[in-house]
Structure 1
Amino acid sequence: MSQASLESVVFDRAPCDQLQVLDTDGNVVSPELEPVLEDETLRAMYRDMRFARRFDERAISLQRQGRVGTYASLAGQEGSQIGSTYALADADLLSYQYREHGAVIARGLPWEYLLYWLGHEAGNAALADLEIFPLNISIGAHLPHVVGWSWAAQLKDDDRVGVVHFGDGATSEGDFHEALNFAGVFDTPTIFVCNNNQWAISVPRKAQTASQTIAQKAHAYGFEGVQVDGMDPLACYVVTQAARAKALEPTDGRARPTLIEAVQYRYGAHTTADDPSAYRDEAEVERWRKRDPIDRFESYLRGRDLLDDGQIETIEANIESTLSELIERAEAVTADPRAIFEHVYDTPTQRLERQRKTLEQYRAEHGDERLLEDE
């Protein structure tokens, strides 16, 4: 399909017309949208989705054992994260909230990533080599930064896009509206990916906005929004592919940003500090599980004779081996307590210096082992 045709099929639709390539059984329902990908690429996407789900399970287990801090689960959202990232160039900038581990995995998860969840800021620093901004905890605050980066890339004639992931709750933040407004005015090559997983902690989607869709919010800022089945990796791929083309090689001569609303569901808790049973019905979760992104993609690949039981066993074994090595390597890193004072301020305050000296004095008297025991 030509670029012009692709953009036409993707964007010439109402924001409430949810784009889908695969149904819940893995059957192709929109053959005109099915992307042409190498067999190995399709298998790699599947492997990364399986890896993301297993990484999630291991991270939650580690948190329950007290070996990892508070963790945000991604289960159920692998399709949008993996599918959208595979449609990008390696040099495109990626910025995410805190739940899009799958996007990082699709870029080649560095072993240092787990360090962040162990409390080491070095885990964030390692992402820079993959063209990924540091993980962002404050809701929506990273959106304006990505728009600024995108604008700078455009001014330098740098053919790269900035892709920013965020949740439906972030659309209620001022940063979201400021970022979209700026992107629309200055035609920045930015792709906004709203991972609408139906819940912002305990606040349901219907309490976030009276708009019929989140995608339609883009129209107020002068560019297009599209709603996609976020649990369909191929649909997420083709929408992101079209959005990237619109940002860099527009058919009408004007580069434009895009807002993608990926409709999906968060299976687990908001974080390991949350109890979702307090605000949602388990029957609702089970209804969404029938749309599982991994199951439907596996059915699609099996139907094309690209995957069988033996290959899945090999993939699973590889994932377990890789994760065990990653965890072992990360847990072998020893923390330096002095690091908590780094990067707090450009010029340390007097109070911060006093705290640093107090720590140094304590370490001199008791040593690091006693310090860790007291913690």
Structure 2
Amino acid sequence: MHMSISVAVSGASGYVGGEVLRVFSAHPEVEFGALTAHSSAGDALGVHQPHLRHLADRVIVDTTPEALAGHDVVVLALPHGASAEIAAQLPPETLVIDCGADHRLASAEAWGEYYGGEHAGTWPYGMPELITAAGHQRDVLPGTKRIAVPGCNVTAVTLALQPGIAAGVIDPTDIVAVLANGYSGAGKKLAPHLLASEALGNAQPYAVGGSHRHIPEIIQNLESAGAEGVRISFTPTLVPMARGILATVTAPLRGSVEAVRGAWEEAYADEPFVHLLPEGQWPTTAATLGANTALVQVAVDGKARRVVVIAAIDNLVKGTAGAALQSMNVALGLPETTGLSTIGVAP
């Protein structure tokens, strides 16, 4: 039986909005309604998203509650701090999916420390694979009308570490995460360090020393998986690629070496989008390009007594738009994989 799902997308001219439109276009039930933005209102979408040929002639309208209301689903692809005001004015029966940070954190104190301003409240978290005390986050998403999509860095680190946390084979009090990040994660804003002349042939760290806003969200997720006393050193690095995150995450080994790989095998055996690679094969960002996959590998550094996990995702797909569609499917009672591909683009 065919069902039609009307979807409005705010922030349609940005990287995340464009990826939402691309990914959601593969869903057999989705029909796009209003496509909105602020500064680009009145433009044809093709001016800003020329790769979306089937939507190129659609006219972008201003982001207002009136333009977004009346749809089955509204996807907010807005900067942090911009989603909450719009979302508060949308009907309670509308499924609202926020790709920004406004509704991810459970702690108002953490929001104030890392983002500033008033905390907008906490929505159901849009990572179906997240391990929880009761099972998985997918178990609480059916029927919900508000979903907070995770941060892209958070997705990579969480999926890398949570099996070891849940199984008790790593010590969460000494986690080190170093990430290589594609530039699209910074959005389309004009800034000197994001210019091609600065980026090409260059790798540059940012938000060093515990200042990155995704840190409390990572801690929140690892606590969900059973960690206590989480301490994490988190350092992202911009590298000259448009998309992708390669996360290298280490933590002290707790228990036997033999128990490590089995923890990841058990955690991800039935997950459609999180794949533990065969031993000796390492994740690469290129292998996830355009796909809703997270590729993971785990090893033990015996001399250092540390577990090493490598995770690769496309930050715009599994890290954002794919997670939004995956969560929408669960919320609406559709098969979780509908419209989502694990097929990447290579070379």
* TM-score (ref. length: structure 1): 0.28
* TM-score (ref. length: structure 2): 0.29
Structure having the higher helix fraction is 1
Q: Which has the higher contact order (CA 8 A, sep 6+)?
A: 1
